[in-house]
Amino acid sequence: MLRPLEELKVAIVGLGYVGLPLAVEFGKVRPVMGFDISEPRIRNLRSGLDETAEVELADLQSAAGLSLTASVEDIKHCDVFIIAVPTPIDANKKPDLTPILAASAMVGSVLKQGDLVIFESTVYPGATEEDCVPVLEQASQLKFNRDFFAGYSPERINPGDRNHRLPDIKKVTAGSTPEVAEMVDALYRQIVTAGTFKARNIRIAEAAKVIENTQRDLNIALVNELAMIFNKLDIDTLEVLEAAGTKWNFLPFRPGLVGGHCIGVDPYYLTQKAQSIGYDPEVILAGRRVNDSMGLYVAGQFVKALLRKNIDCKRARVLVMGLAFKENCPDIRNTKVVDVVRELEDFGISVDVYDPLVDKDQAYREFKITLINEIEKRAYDGVLVAVPHKAILATTQPQDFASFTKAQHVIYDLKGVLPLELEALRL
């Protein structure tokens, strides 16, 4: 039997890009325990430092009900466990449920009669009840929907976005029984001012989440393919999109690299599930192939531009500005800028990478890339503006480029943000 909403003790399991904002918002309205297996992460948060840059010190201080811990013992007294851990893909682009199953086993070890486990991680339809619940049952020796219950409310966090925050984004909710569904919905209504949408069951909520990013992935793949066609026709893609965008129902997608923990990952969760039931998702996988190839395409375009200016790639030095997967965000998970860097290096080009937002130790640990601290004057045969953080745009005026490029050089403006007088190559 579920306890009354006001009596529930909530724990957030996983304090990354998704879990921390969630813990902070709940901490503003009720007691909540924020748990992460990383003790350094907990120490940093206690001192007011969030490496993800999603939560400011003032936000942490305003969450009076938030307690932080790396000890499982501290969450034993909780009744609701919201699991917000990564769901990545492996080297073969297959869903890797290791983190979410490990979190389920850990929560299962402290689960008791009447508890509720809510998942926020992106998964394929059926994963909560088919994969995670059995782990909870085994670890707890409790029976699902008799002794404990499950819910699902997929995250909609957009890293680096200061305009669309957790309370401002409508939240999809679901529960393993009608009573649980109402409890889950009521819980999230406490912190989401934009309102909630209660799905009929967990599988519907899981499917809704996974197609949100699949749809975006396909639309970006379309404009990426259009960009490749228009480049061959010597037509400026961004000008074409601007013209087409004057029609009221034209969708404003732009070409680019598709990385990060969502758009470049989530479609593989859906395609894996589809293939497991005997359906080959041709359109979705075609879009993935296009987007996964864009790093090599950009590098190839850049190299051709160098050669057209008689710049020897074996002696060329290039500056890549931005390593994160998107603007104004330090997140380097699944960043496709790495594909560009590796391909340029394969051509014998010496590549410097500059990103003032990304942690240097993490960049080296993940990709063996040593980020430079400062841009060297008059050093570069080419500059590729890959991720136009605000901090990077502040150094990309014509006079700036004149100061750190050689007389003969190539500028590649991946996102179409540079002044036109620079005559930069664009995707």
Where in the sequence numbering do the catalytic residues fall? 262
What residues contact 61, with CB distance under 8 A and at least 6 apart? 48
Three-point CA angle 200, 206, 210, nearest 5°: 135
Residues 6+ apart with CB under 8 A from 372: 352, 353, 354
Coil, strand, or helix at residue 173? Answer: strand
**Pair type for strands 32-35 and 10-13:** parallel
Q: Phi-psi category of 225—alpha, beta or left, where left has phi over 0 and alpha has psi -120 to 50? A: alpha
Query: At 319, is the secondary structure helix, strand, or coil?
Result: strand
Q: How far is CA 176 from the centre of its chain?
A: 27
Q: How far apart are CA 152 and CA 114, in angstroms?
A: 17
Distance CA 291, CA 220 (A): 8
- Residue whose entry in the numeric block shows the structure tokens 């996964």: 292
Report d(CA 318, CA 376) in Å as an integer.
Answer: 11
3-state secondary structure of 137: helix
Give the integer Cα–Cα distance in Å for 220 and 183: 37
202: left (phi over 0), alpha (psi -120 to 50) or beta: alpha
Report how far residue 112's alpha carbon sits from residue 160's, in angstroms, rounded to the nearest whole number.
Answer: 37
* Beta-carbon contacts of residue 162 (< 8 Å; ≥ 6 apart): none
Rg (CA), the chain: 23
369 token code pair: 């890339």
Q: Which is nearest to 394 in space by CA: 312, 301, 307, 327? A: 327
Question: Count of residues for the chain?
Answer: 427
